[in-house]
């Protein structure tokens, strides 16, 4: 399903000439990037493809790689919540990051402040290495995408409604801002 979703995203983006393509450094993100670009028949040779650790999923520290449902149960239990969605119904994405950090026995999970420092560094890197008008493909992860959208376009409700796997979100990154053009597009009739 993940491979099919990646190819579907690629078909939706097949007519866009990307000046560069990036993904987080996880295997699944790198493969997704490759699958998306493989569908881009009109522009098969995207000049730059590399990984950017700035746009990894949030670090779960001690809980990295564990069962997500079990992790969020452990985080939420002291707050009367059993699931990640229960937490998001009562608290912000920022609060969940700090709660995860607080429960982590080694305090390796990112705090909200650490998380945004990393992402802000990533946007600064993109601004430094690209000029106005460049089209850049960036493959990232659910919590990272929904956090970016929640920060820059909270009215879209991404904190409670995460992106569909293989969906496309378009950001306009200027010298001093990030604007969300659209979020979570995955249907054939939507704008890309």
Say if residue 42's pLDDT is above 90. Answer: no
Tell me the C-alpha distance between 10 and 131, whole Å: 24
Sorting pLDDT into bands at 50, 70 and 90, what band is 88?
Answer: very high
Sorting pLDDT into bands at 50, 70 and 90, what band is 49?
Answer: confident
Tell me the C-alpha distance between 77 and 88, whole Å: 13
Per-residue pLDDT reduced to its tens digit, 74-86: 999 999 999 999 9
pTM for the model: 0.95
Sorting pLDDT into bands at 50, 70 and 90, what band is 100?
Answer: very high
Answer for the pair 21, 37: CB distance below 8 angstroms, yes or no. yes
Question: How would you classify the pairing of strands 136-139 and 20-23?
Answer: parallel
DSSP state letter for 108: -
In this structure, the number of other CB atoms found within 10 A of the CB of residue 65 comes to 8
- Comparing CA positions, the residue from 149, 161, 87 lying closest to residue 119 is 149
In this structure, the number of other CB atoms found within 10 A of the CB of residue 37 comes to 20
Question: How would you classify the pairing of strands 136-139 and 49-51?
Answer: unpaired
Q: Quote the percentage of the chain above a pLDDT of 90.
A: 95
């Amino acid at each position: 399903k993940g491979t099919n979703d990646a190819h579907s995203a690629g078909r939706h983006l097949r007519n866009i000439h990307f000046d560069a393509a990036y993904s987080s450094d996880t295997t699944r993100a790198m493969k997704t990037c490759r699958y998306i670009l493989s569908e881009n028949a009109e522009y098969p040779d995207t000049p730059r493809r590399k990984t950017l650790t700035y746009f990894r999923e949030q670090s779960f520290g001690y809980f990295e790689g564990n069962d997500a449902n079990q992790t969020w149960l452990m985080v939420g239990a002291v707050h009367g919540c059993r699931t990640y969605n229960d937490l998001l119904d009562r608290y912000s994405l920022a609060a969940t990051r700090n709660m995860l950090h607080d429960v982590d026995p080694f305090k390796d999970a990112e705090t909200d402040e650490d998380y945004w420092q990393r992402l802000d560094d990533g946007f600064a890197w993109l601004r430094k290495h690209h000029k106005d008008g460049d089209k850049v493909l960036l493959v990232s992860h659910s919590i990272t995408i929904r956090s970016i959208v929640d920060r820059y376009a909270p009215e879209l409700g991404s904190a409670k409604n995460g992106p569909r796997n293989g969906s496309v979100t378009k950001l306009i990154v200027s010298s001093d801002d990030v604007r969300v053009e659209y979020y979570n597009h995955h249907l054939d009739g939507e704008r890309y």
